[in-house]
A and B are shown apart, each in its own frame.
Chain A
Amino acid sequence: MTKIKNLEELKQLRDQLLSKIDLREKGEFPEGRIQIKVAMSTCGIEAGAKAVLNSFIEELDKRSISAIVTQTDCLGYCKAEPTVEISLPDHEAIVFGFVDSKKVVEIIERYIIKNELVDGVITPAQYEVINNNGLGGRVNG
């Protein structure tokens, strides 16, 4: 192990290492962060939710966007799988249906970055906001 020579080096090292415990920081304090929950029940997985989840992680990473990407239980819209719930800071959570890799890019580019409306939103009246009961997690950032 090499020695840390000065405070600057220590700070750099800290910033590098931050990612190592990032999941804990973000998970403990999700408030004010972009949260993306991919429904990963049997029907979701069947429809390709795993690929969607990986796409989110990849594409967010490319753009250096910090977000909490987690998986969750069925959102209740099996006909529209894969479904993804996205909550931006200070915004109501919304759910997108029929998400695929292309859609992931569009959601990131337009909804997450520019905050524009994107097709495929399942209206709030049609779903319940995911509560705490049921989620596995992934984070990108």
Chain B
Amino acid sequence: MGNYKTEILICGGSGCKASQTVLTAKLLREVLEENNLSSEVQVVMTGCFGFCEKGPIVKIMPDNTFYVKVKPEDARELIEEHIIKGKKVNRLLYVDPKTKEIISDSKHMGFYKKQNRIALRNCGVIDPENIDEAIARNAYTALGKVLNEMTPEVAIDVMKKSGMRGRGGGGFPTGMKWDITSKSPAGQKYVVCNADEGDPGAFMDRSILEGDPHSVLEAMAICGYCIGADTGLIYIRAEYPLAIERLKIAIKQAREKGLLGNDILGKGFSFDVELKYGAGAFVCGEETALISSMEGLRGEPTFKPPFPSVEGYLGKPTNVNNVETFASIPEIFNKGAEWFASIGNEKSKGTKVFALAGKINNVGLIEVPMGTTLREVIYEIGGGIKDGKKFKAVQTGGPSGGCLTSKDLDTPIDYDNLIAAGSMMGSGGMIVLDEDDCMVSIAKFYLEFTVEESCGKCSPCRIGNKRLHEILEKICKGNGTLEDLEQLRNLSKVIKDTSLCGLGQTSPNPILSTLDNFYDEYLEHVHDKKCRAGVCKSLMKYVIEPDTCIGCTACVRVCPVDAISGEKKMSHLINQATCIKCGACYDKCKFNAILIK
């Protein structure tokens, strides 16, 4: 060990793997072998680096060079130039979009500068399939510390003092949850890790499990010790094969080392972890539905109380926490509750991972201290809006959340502020919208999701969301009325007020927040039959400006439905009845003779 003089870290997260990093790694190793460097240079497949916009990422250590968008065909050059000749491959280095400066140390990139990676601390650093690397990074020492130095009460107190709140979206104080479960009558209890990540575009839990599974296993064991449980269950969606694979490896390795199983670290505490697979129903992220699903029943929520802390899996007290919550916990014990509580702001402590997506330059996974403003996230970390377009809104909290506008940009991000602003933290989805996004369509998109994902158990969610979606469709088609807008608001409120679980209680949020912030856009759709973003096809038409059209027939040839007529060298005409508004003619016309009206 320690023989290697250089290490090449390559991203093995799902996203980068899809861009052939397995092949790239293989080629890197082959070229090293050719040059007799295999004993000096090691290629390590790590978890996600987060900067997915620029993936696949390759990082060379110890000279800390961060290569972006590395393809298999770049492997030879990387070895021959960088490793052998000591020359950086400039074309694969990151260029700051504003200063045009080449930056090879990721710490100096805007994307990473303001981040503070606690939950993601090992992602992109260690080989998740090798427990030794996790141990070298302190894995299981927090568990050891808790088992050796703390009673469950003391450990729960540490959690309370840290101010940790559930990262799955609810924001319930984690220490308090542990406390309640620990106080439920002794006997069989369970620790459940909720890995049923379902928000559109969110992938933080997947990245953590793929990049650092041991941090979750360790925290589950700590939780087990605190609440008096000997069994941990990870409810993970079957669509996460890589995360499942890495968890299986991690569990096996932890068992082999005696870090899971009987009498862990000689302290008489036993704990083991099993995987339970979900079929990818969004509602199963709700803890009671999750438990039903784990029990082999239909994934439907039940009313609370009884809370899972009292009556959960198989009727036994069950503590359910989300992946990101667990992943942060070992560091709380390693570095102390005070350290954790010093990060963040008054009511929300620590950091939060966000999946930054949409019309933003730096798409990816970020972890920032609570209290970071939306502006910092969008303009500094996110690098601003794509193609220099105008910022319109940012959607947070996934389908349960809402849209925040430029007036909210300086809001420090935390649980309470986001709710006060009309949205929510959720599991950390953050989708940036620009002037080309129609807010009615955005609301419709989210409703489509909840209609699809409602379990159907309670009538307001089952039928109400469908009706909301139908009204939005009507508005987008140009058939909406002012009464429809009123109905949207009333129905939204009733659905929130009467639905059984968190899904229905929040599903109208995208509508309510867009109604509040973008009522003028709704009015335009209803009143003027106009969609300013040009998204609602029924509300726009392509027309040919007769004076500009020279009759080149390019549009005629490209139209898939023969909707355009006109003699050569004569001005053309689009038959609106036939036109499907695909926009092909618009893109094709070189003379800007086709207009959107």
Interface residues, chain A, CB within 8 Å of chain B?
1, 3-7, 10-11, 13-14, 16-24, 26-28, 30, 40-41, 57, 68-73, 132-139
| B133 lies within 8 A of A20 (CB) | yes
| A17 lies within 8 A of B147 (CB) | no
Cα A41 to Cα B272 in complex, Å, equals 54
Q: Which residues of the other chain, B, contact A17 by a CB distance below 8 angstroms? A: 1, 132-133, 135-136
Q: Which of B60, B88, B125 is the one whose CB lies under 8 Å from A21?
A: B125
Distance (whole angstroms) from the CB of A71 to the closest CB of chain B: 4
| B86 lies within 8 A of A68 (CB) | no
Q: Which residues of the other chain, A, contact B147 by a CB distance below 8 angstroms? A: 7
Q: Which residues of the other chain, A, contact B102 by a CB distance below 8 angstroms? A: 132-133
B61 at the interface (CB under 8 A from A): yes
Known: A23-B7, A133-B90. 7 other contacts (CB 8 A): A4-B257, A7-B265, A14-B138, A17-B133, A17-B136, A28-B61, A136-B83
Q: Which of B9, B82, B256, B259 is the one whose CB lies under 8 Å from A24?
A: B9
Q: Which residues of the other chain, A, contact B62 by a CB distance below 8 angstroms? A: 23-24, 26-27, 30, 68, 70, 137-139
B151 at the interface (CB under 8 A from A): no
| B85 lies within 8 A of A136 (CB) | yes
Distance (whole angstroms) from the CB of B38 to the closest CB of chain A: 15
| B61 lies within 8 A of A24 (CB) | yes
Distance (whole angstroms) from the CB of B49 to the closest CB of chain A: 12
CB-defined interface of B357-386 with A at 8 Å, one 1/0 digit per residue? 000000000000000000000000000000
Instruction: Determine the residue in chain A with the shortest Cβ distance to B130.
Output: A20
| B257 lies within 8 A of A3 (CB) | yes
Q: Which residues of the other chain, B, contact A20 by a CB distance below 8 angstroms? A: 1-2, 132-133, 136
Instruction: Determine the residue in chain A with the shortest Cβ distance to B5.
Output: A138
Q: Which residues of the other chain, A, contact B88 by a CB distance below 8 angstroms? A: 132-135
Residue pairs across A and B with Cβ atoms less than 8 A apart, 10 shown, are A7-B141, A7-B144, A10-B135, A19-B1, A23-B61, A27-B64, A28-B64, A41-B86, A133-B102, A139-B5
Query: Which residue, of A21, A69, A135, has the highest number of chain B Cβ atoms within 10 A?
Result: A21
Q: Which residues of the other chain, B, contact A40 by a CB distance below 8 angstroms? A: 85-86
Q: Which of B104, B253, B266 is the one whose CB lies under 8 Å from A132?
A: B104
Interface residues, chain B, CB within 8 Å of chain A?
1-2, 4-7, 9, 40, 60-65, 82-88, 90, 102, 104-105, 107, 125-126, 132-133, 135-138, 140-141, 144-145, 147-148, 253, 256-259, 265-267
| B144 lies within 8 A of A21 (CB) | no
Q: Which residues of the other chain, B, contact A3 by a CB distance below 8 angstroms? A: 256-258
Q: Which residues of the other chain, B, contact A6 by a CB distance below 8 angstroms? A: 144, 265-267
Cα A70 to Cα B61 in complex, Å, equals 10
Distance (whole angstroms) from the CB of B503 to the closest CB of chain A: 41
Q: Which residues of the other chain, B, contact A137 by a CB distance below 8 angstroms? A: 5-6, 60-63
Q: Which residues of the other chain, A, contact B90 by a CB distance below 8 angstroms? A: 133
Distance (whole angstroms) from the CB of A76 to the closest CB of chain B: 14
Q: Which residues of the other chain, A, contact B138 by a CB distance below 8 angstroms? A: 14
| A7 lies within 8 A of B145 (CB) | yes
Q: Which of A5, A7, A24, A134 is the one whose CB lies under 8 Å from B87?
A: A134
Q: Which residues of the other chain, B, contact A69 by a CB distance below 8 angstroms? A: 5
Q: Which of A11, A18, A19, A21 is the one whose CB lies under 8 Å from B126?
A: A21
Contacts between the two chains (Cβ within 8 Å), count: 126
Query: Which residue, of A13, A20, A27, has the highest number of chain B Cβ atoms within 10 A?
Result: A20
| B87 lies within 8 A of A73 (CB) | yes
Q: Which residues of the other chain, B, contact A136 by a CB distance below 8 angstroms? A: 6, 60, 63, 82-86
Q: Which of B6, B60, B141 is the one whose CB lies under 8 Å from A14?
A: B141
> With A21-B126, A28-B61, A68-B62 as given contacts, are A4 and B6 in contact (CB-CB < 8 Å)?
no
Cα A3 to Cα B258 in complex, Å, equals 5
Cα A72 to Cα B82 in complex, Å, equals 9
| A10 lies within 8 A of B141 (CB) | yes
Q: Which residues of the other chain, A, contact B6 by a CB distance below 8 angstroms? A: 23, 136-138
| B148 lies within 8 A of A30 (CB) | no
Cα A65 to Cα B60 in complex, Å, equals 23
Cα A23 to Cα B65 in complex, Å, equals 12
Cα A19 to Cα B138 in complex, Å, equals 13
Cα A40 to Cα B132 in complex, Å, equals 33
Q: Which residues of the other chain, B, contact A72 by a CB distance below 8 angstroms? A: 86
Q: Which residues of the other chain, B, contact A18 by a CB distance below 8 angstroms? A: 136
| A21 lies within 8 A of B63 (CB) | no
Cα A29 to Cα B86 in complex, Å, equals 20
Instruction: Determine the residue in chain B with the shortest Cβ distance to A54.
Output: B5
> With A6-B266, A23-B7, A138-B6 as given contacts, are A1 and B257 in contact (CB-CB < 8 Å)?
yes
Cα A71 to Cα B126 in complex, Å, equals 24
Cα A69 to Cα B61 in complex, Å, equals 11
Distance (whole angstroms) from the CB of B4 to the closest CB of chain A: 7
Cα A11 to Cα B141 in complex, Å, equals 7
Distance (whole angstroms) from the CB of B252 to the closest CB of chain A: 10
Distance (whole angstroms) from the CB of A31 to the closest CB of chain B: 10
Instruction: Determine the residue in chain B with the shortest Cβ distance to A44.
Output: B86
Distance (whole angstroms) from the CB of B238 to the closest CB of chain A: 29
Distance (whole angstroms) from the CB of B388 to the closest CB of chain A: 29
| B256 lies within 8 A of A13 (CB) | no
Q: Which residues of the other chain, A, contact B63 by a CB distance below 8 angstroms? A: 27, 70, 135-137
| B85 lies within 8 A of A41 (CB) | yes
Distance (whole angstroms) from the CB of A34 to the closest CB of chain B: 12
Cα A119 to Cα B102 in complex, Å, equals 36
Q: Which residues of the other chain, A, contact B267 by a CB distance below 8 angstroms? A: 6
Cα A41 to Cα B84 in complex, Å, equals 9
Cα A132 to Cα B103 in complex, Å, equals 8
Instruction: Determine the residue in chain B with the shortest Cβ distance to A18.
Output: B136
Q: Which of A10, A57, A70 is the one whose CB lies under 8 Å from B140?
A: A10
| B1 lies within 8 A of A132 (CB) | no
Q: Which residues of the other chain, B, contact A138 by a CB distance below 8 angstroms? A: 5-6, 40, 62
Distance (whole angstroms) from the CB of A18 to the closest CB of chain B: 5
Q: Which residues of the other chain, A, contact B107 by a CB distance below 8 angstroms? A: 28
Distance (whole angstroms) from the CB of B76 to the closest CB of chain A: 15
Distance (whole angstroms) from the CB of A70 to the closest CB of chain B: 5
| B64 lies within 8 A of A5 (CB) | no
Instruction: Determine the residue in chain B with the shortest Cβ distance to A21.
Output: B136
| B64 lies within 8 A of A30 (CB) | yes
Q: Which residues of the other chain, B, contact A28 by a CB distance below 8 angstroms? A: 61, 64, 107
| B133 lies within 8 A of A21 (CB) | yes
Instruction: Determine the residue in chain B with the shortest Cβ distance to A17.
Output: B136
Cα A18 to Cα B258 in complex, Å, equals 20
Top 7 A-B pairs, shortest CB-CB distance: A3-B258, A27-B62, A7-B144, A137-B63, A19-B2, A27-B61, A17-B136
| A132 lies within 8 A of B4 (CB) | no
Query: Which residue, of B86, B137, B144, B256, has the highest number of chain A Cβ atoms within 10 A?
Result: B86
Instruction: Determine the residue in chain B with the shortest Cβ distance to A19.
Output: B2
